[in-house]
Structure 1
Amino acid sequence: MNSSPHVLILTQYFPPEAGAAASRMSDYALLLKEAGFKVSVVCERPAYFIRRNVKSKNVEIWNGINVYRSWVIVNKRSTNKDRSFFYLSFMLSGIWRSLWIDKPDVIWVTSPPLTTAVAGRIISRLRRVPYILDVRDLWPDSVIELDAMKNRFFIRILEGLERWVYRGATAISLAVPGFRERIAAKIKSKADFVDLPNGVPDFMLTEASRPVFFQNAIEGKFVVLFSGNMGIAQGLDRIIDAAKLLKSREEIMFVFVGDGVKKTELEKEAVQAGLKNVIFVESQARSEMPSIISAAHVGLVPLKNVDLFTNALPSKMFEYLARKIPLVTNIPGEAAAFIQKYHCGIVLPPDHNAEDLAWVLSDLSTKREKCAAMGKAGYAVIKESFTRKYFVQRLIEKIQ
């Protein structure tokens, strides 16, 4: 009989799926296993950021970790209705799947989506074990402030569920320390918080760079990179508009790597504008990302100008800096303070326009030594205190 504490990780996304959530939760699963815990994962069958059919078993051993994959409705998630069916299907199947595995000692459930957090509390009740809620973004606040949801009745239901999952958690791990006040105000009581920012895995710091498969398109260029989810929150139209303004500057190349609901629209706009200084690359395996990021000179970290994002700390910030790539962002609050403290990038006003972005990129393209210096400054602080191996100790203390 295995006497090691058993941690069940409930996450909708997990490798071979791409994206920040799958990468983060797989890293932490391995770190918990290395720390001596028995780790199990309940996740969906591959459906997110997957452009090809991926065969997967309902139960498999992934790097010594039992992974239980549950059914999910696969669709394009292009409408609220599609997204609702996608999230709800995993919530229900995830609950069912979790009832048929060895009883855990604690559940660690990550959100968004909020439906996964709801599943976590229900499983906690049914199996009579505590759960730690990992909050990476505030739902439904983010979709409301982005004007992606307008049905007040539906919003009130989600807000009620949000308070319910917060109150049921034994502890709450936070990607952004600034979430504390918002969550405390919602539940009107004290909660046991632990800061768990979006750090980086060790391989992002140590992996050797090599030429990328689109090397010919960027050879000799000043490469401006955006990698990750191309969604509503990022406000990527402004980057395309900046590319239009820099159309005649052939030495500046914009590279978009990833997928998302806005990608097709952005690609269409770039084609219609005849932008030869923009290339789109589909989501890549994690093993490819260190080299792709290292091929850039600047990493873009944009978000729309809404109050909710004031204290956002996107994971791509740390990934860029781990590869010595400086940042250009418009995020105020903690992100801006971080960049200014460590001199690792440029902070634009939250409501900046395409002309502001184009001017900054044009200026940086003539100051590559400055870019390299800012990248090295950021790398030093990431290596010292922003790795996931560094942060996992905080989570282990809460689990114990």
Structure 2
Amino acid sequence: MKEIVIISNYYPPEKGAAANRIEQLALKLKQNNYKVSVLCPLGNYPKGELFPEYKGKFSVTENREGITVKRLWIYPSVSKNLLVRLISVLSFSLSLFFYLLLKKTPHKVVVQSPPLLLSFISVLVLSWKKKKIILNVSDLWPLAAIELNAIKKNSFSHKFSLFMERCIYKKATLIIGQSNEIITHIHSVFPEKRCYLYRNFPDHKVAEMELETIENQPIKLFYAGLLGIAQGVLELCQKIDLEGLNIELHLFGEGAEKKSVEALISSANERKIFFHGMMERNDLHEKLKTFDIAIVPLKVRIYGSVPSKIFEYGALGFPILYFGGGEGETIVEENNLGWVASVGDYSDLNSKLKTISEFTRLDLENMKKSVWETSNSIFDLDEQMKHLLTEAVF
């Protein structure tokens, strides 16, 4: 049986798109007769504190659905302070450095990037040991950090990040990217590098759509995911205008903006915004069966970023209200998955909401069926994996 190890900063029971994406990759490789192991930190995300089962431990080895998961020490944090966040990433990176240096690992290794420092250290050691390095790029750093104003252009941190970025692209055997923009960017630096598109398609196909459209209820718009800076959910709550509309906004998730979002909602009940906290993925999907539309926002247009929520909720049958620009906008428009509002333009967003508010329950029911059929015909994780295996990516 072929062996492969995946290095990631996130893995269940941690929540969020990154953890789900890596778990799906691990399980799909296992289904295709790979012996899969994962190297990741002790569980701490998204709260930035160790889960109770990992407190007081330096490392833990687990078996999750036939995947061997080796968790290494980390100093956890989700602080907005860049230095504290850097220390947190560095702590796991050092644990990983010594583990990779001293322990025997399979010849094939998938390295998740970002975090950039983590992938840089991993690729550096693995290249010394002459491993096959499959770099999985889900966002472009430091470019995304510049667009989010997390670091200043031409600063030392920017220049050092650029150095690390170029290094991991150069030393990787091949690269899988989450978007065409990511692949275009990498080819602009290394034109001959083998690159493959690897979308974050979901793996929860059902024989028929399970969503319910309930009569005499407001249209339930929802956001489910990370409440972080990049998503801009706090600003969304501040600027969305639901007054006079037959629409409610429901929020699910955890992250840096959680307390601010809760405080805003508690001080403005008339805004028709409701916060439900974090839920397990299966419980969330069950809860959402009577909801109507998924909103997918980004604070600014981030080159290379395609939010996985487009595929996740499209596959369940939810029309998408996309508010993030870039390649995600193109996917929603070209496949008739819902509506697009210009990123950062709340006048446009509120105009789209007025249009949505006029939809009848029959209009919504028909749209859900159309989105479900389209998504399940084109967002096929098994076909994608089959193609990559045929191309000898893994």
Judge same fold: TM > 0.5, yes or no. yes
Q: Deviations over 1:71-110 (max 9, x none)?
A: 1112232211121111111111122233455420211011
- Counterpart check, 1:184 vs 2:225: no
Q: Which residue of 1 aligns with 2:375?
A: 382
Q: Which residue of 2 aligns with 1:241?
A: 238
- Counterpart check, 1:362 vs 2:354: yes
Q: Which residue of 1 aligns with 2:165?
A: 162
Counterpart CA distance in 1 for 2:62 and 2:190 is: 42
**351 and 16 in structure 1: CA distance in 2 versus 1, 3 angstrom threshold:** closer
Counterpart CA distance in 2 for 1:358 and 1:242 is: 9
**Aligned pair partner of 2:138 in 125, 136, 148:** 136
Structure 2 unmatched runs, 5+: none
Q: Which residue of 1 aligns with 2:247?
A: 252
Counterpart CA distance in 2 for 1:22 and 1:205 is: 26
**Aligned pair partner of 2:32 in 26, 35, 47:** 35
- Counterpart check, 1:48 vs 2:45: yes
Q: Which residue of 2 aligns with 1:371?
A: 364
Q: Which residue of 1 aligns with 2:295?
A: 300
**144 and 333 in structure 1: CA distance in 2 versus 1, 3 angstrom threshold:** closer
Q: Which residue of 1 aligns with 2:392?
A: 398
Counterpart CA distance in 1 for 2:40 and 2:387 is: 24
Moved more, 151-160 or 166-175: 151-160
- Counterpart check, 1:285 vs 2:283: no
The share of aligned pairs that are identical, in percent, is 26
Structure 1 unmatched runs, 5+: none
Counterpart CA distance in 2 for 1:99 and 1:59 is: 18
- Counterpart check, 1:171 vs 2:174: yes
Q: Output the amino acid matched with 2:220.
A: V
Q: Output the amino acid matched with 1:280.
A: F
Q: Output the amino acid matched with 2:357.
A: S
Q: Output the amino acid matched with 2:336.
A: H
**Aligned pair partner of 2:219 in 210, 222, 232:** 222
**178 and 200 in structure 1: CA distance in 2 versus 1, 3 angstrom threshold:** same
Counterpart CA distance in 2 for 1:342 and 1:181 is: 22
Alpha carbons 1:103, 1:127 under 8 Å: kept: no
Alpha carbons 1:225, 1:300 under 8 Å: kept: yes
**Size of the alignment, in residue pairs?**
386
Counterpart CA distance in 2 for 1:327 and 1:159 is: 34
Q: Deviations over 1:109-135 (max 9, x none)?
A: 111111221132023134321201001
**264 and 35 in structure 1: CA distance in 2 versus 1, 3 angstrom threshold:** same
Q: Output the amino acid matched with 1:87.
A: V
Alignment of 1:330-341 (within 5 A): 330-341=323-334
Displacement after TM superposition at 1:208 (Å): 5.5
Counterpart CA distance in 1 for 2:242 and 2:210 is: 32
- Counterpart check, 1:346 vs 2:342: no
Alpha carbons 1:60, 1:67 under 8 Å: kept: yes
Displacement after TM superposition at 1:335 (Å): 2.4
Q: Secondary structure at the match of 1:92?
A: helix
Q: Which residue of 1 aligns with 2:14?
A: 17
Alignment of 1:79-118 (within 5 A): 79-99=81-101, 101-118=103-120
Moved more, 167-176 or 253-262: 253-262
**188 and 32 in structure 1: CA distance in 2 versus 1, 3 angstrom threshold:** closer
Alpha carbons 1:312, 1:334 under 8 Å: kept: yes
Counterpart CA distance in 2 for 1:53 and 1:42 is: 17
Displacement after TM superposition at 1:360 (Å): 1.9
CA RMSD of aligned residues (A): 2.6
Counterpart CA distance in 2 for 1:116 and 1:376 is: 42
Alpha carbons 2:295, 2:323 under 8 Å: kept: no
Displacement after TM superposition at 1:390 (Å): 2.4
Q: Which residue of 2 aligns with 1:268?
A: 263
Alpha carbons 1:205, 1:383 under 8 Å: kept: no
**62 and 247 in structure 1: CA distance in 2 versus 1, 3 angstrom threshold:** same
Displacement after TM superposition at 1:174 (Å): 0.7
Q: Output the amino acid matched with 2:329.
A: A
**188 and 99 in structure 1: CA distance in 2 versus 1, 3 angstrom threshold:** closer
Q: Secondary structure at the match of 2:6?
A: strand
Displacement after TM superposition at 1:21 (Å): 0.9
TM-score, normalising length: structure 2 = 0.89
Q: Deviations over 1:242-290 (max 9, x none)?
A: 44x32454x4221111112222222222233344511112222121232
Moved more, 111-120 or 97-106: 97-106
Alpha carbons 1:293, 1:323 under 8 Å: kept: no
Q: Output the amino acid matched with 1:300.
A: I
Counterpart CA distance in 2 for 1:119 and 1:378 is: 42
Counterpart CA distance in 1 for 2:363 and 2:97 is: 51
Q: Output the amino acid matched with 1:253.
A: E
- Counterpart check, 1:231 vs 2:228: yes
Q: Output the amino acid matched with 1:318.
A: F
Displacement after TM superposition at 1:172 (Å): 0.6
**107 and 364 in structure 1: CA distance in 2 versus 1, 3 angstrom threshold:** same
Q: Secondary structure at the match of 1:107?
A: strand
Counterpart CA distance in 1 for 2:192 and 2:270 is: 52
Alpha carbons 1:330, 1:350 under 8 Å: kept: yes
Q: Which residue of 1 aligns with 2:60?
A: 58
Counterpart CA distance in 1 for 2:320 and 2:51 is: 35
